[in-house]
Structure 1
Amino acid sequence: MTQPEPGTVVVSEAGTGRYTQHVTAGGYEFVVDEPVSMGGDGSGPTPYDFLLGALGSCTAITLRMYADRKNIPLANVNIRLKHDRIHARDCERCDTEVGMVSRITREIELEGDLDDEQRAKLLAIADKCPVHRTLENQIDVQTKLV
């Protein structure tokens, strides 16, 4: 296989388990798998773990960049995320009312000598991270055989 162009992620079956995938991204390599309870080997985080990790890390990086730029005394950021699915009719913020929708719960802990105004601003900035914006907007996934 030829070297992929920059910004391209390559996924291939690892050959070590039924669902185990080998991922190469930006010169880094890692494994994605399903838990044993889903028929996988549990040899790595699940695809949803990586999705949540992308959102959480993007949020933390965005908060850190903003705090540094604005000289906000943010000492540390901890983010806990969870994915589940709910009935669309139970989603107050959703446009659709039929079927199921994905829900990500994100809890942000901000450490540091922060006043209420700084905390509120940082919470608003959290929603501006690029991955958050991508997930909240329509995504056009184009698939083709090669």
Structure 2
Amino acid sequence: MIVVERIASDGTAHRITIRAHELVADMSLPDGEDAGPDPHDLYDAALGACKAMTMLWYAQRKGIALDDIHVGVQRDAAHERDGVYRLTTRIAIGGDLSAQEHAKLIEVAAKCPVHKLMSEVKTEIETIAIPYV
């Protein structure tokens, strides 16, 4: 389970606890204090991280000499309210790679689980109010 809790009653930052890991999320200025990435940033970052880790996983299993991975994610939310949220990823990878290995790693990145989740899966979300303890 992931837990999100407000850090201070007079602030906008929230602590996110995932297993033994903690990070801070906040609203961007001027609405928040910008003490951490906002929820859109975290969503977008999940895509970049998944692409990077999927390429690494594939390279390790296939014995491909992948040394460096850089994934940039750029957001265009101009039409989000119309139902279109556009993310563009730019991938740079380094190592002693053949053209075929390079192409395969880029292909694998496009099939990462989060990419599929964001583009091919219908997500159903249920929101339940529980008593505050």
Which stretches of structure 1, 4 residues or longer, exceed 4 Å deviation after superposition?
none
Shift of 1:27: 1.6
Partner residue of 1:48 out of 40, 45, 62? 40
Match of 2:3 in 1: 10
Query: How do 1:1-146 and structure 2 match up within 5 A?
Result: 8-15=1-8, 17-37=10-30, 39-87=31-79, 99-136=82-119, 137-146=121-130
**CA deviation digits over 1:69-102, x for unaligned, max 9?**
11111111101101122449xxxxxxxxx92400
Shift of 1:127: 1.8
**CA deviation digits over 1:48-73, x for unaligned, max 9?**
22112211111111101101111111
Aligned with 1:44: secondary structure? coil
Aligned with 1:54: secondary structure? helix
TM-score (ref. length: structure 2): 0.87
The AA in structure 1 aligned to 2:105 is L
| Percent identity (aligned) | 33
TM-score (ref. length: structure 1): 0.79
C-alpha RMSD of the superposition? 1.9
The 3 A distance-change label for structure 1 pair 46 and 17 is: farther
The AA in structure 2 aligned to 1:111 is G
**Alignment length, in residue pairs?**
129
Separation in 1 of the partners of 2:73 and 2:28? 18
The 3 A distance-change label for structure 1 pair 65 and 103 is: same
Mark the runs of 5 or more structure 1 residues left unpaired by the alignment: 1-7, 89-97
The 3 A distance-change label for structure 1 pair 122 and 53 is: same
Separation in 2 of the partners of 1:17 and 1:131? 34
The 3 A distance-change label for structure 1 pair 24 and 120 is: same
Residues 17 and 41 of structure 1 are in contact (CA less than 8 Å); yes or no, is this contact kept in structure 2? no
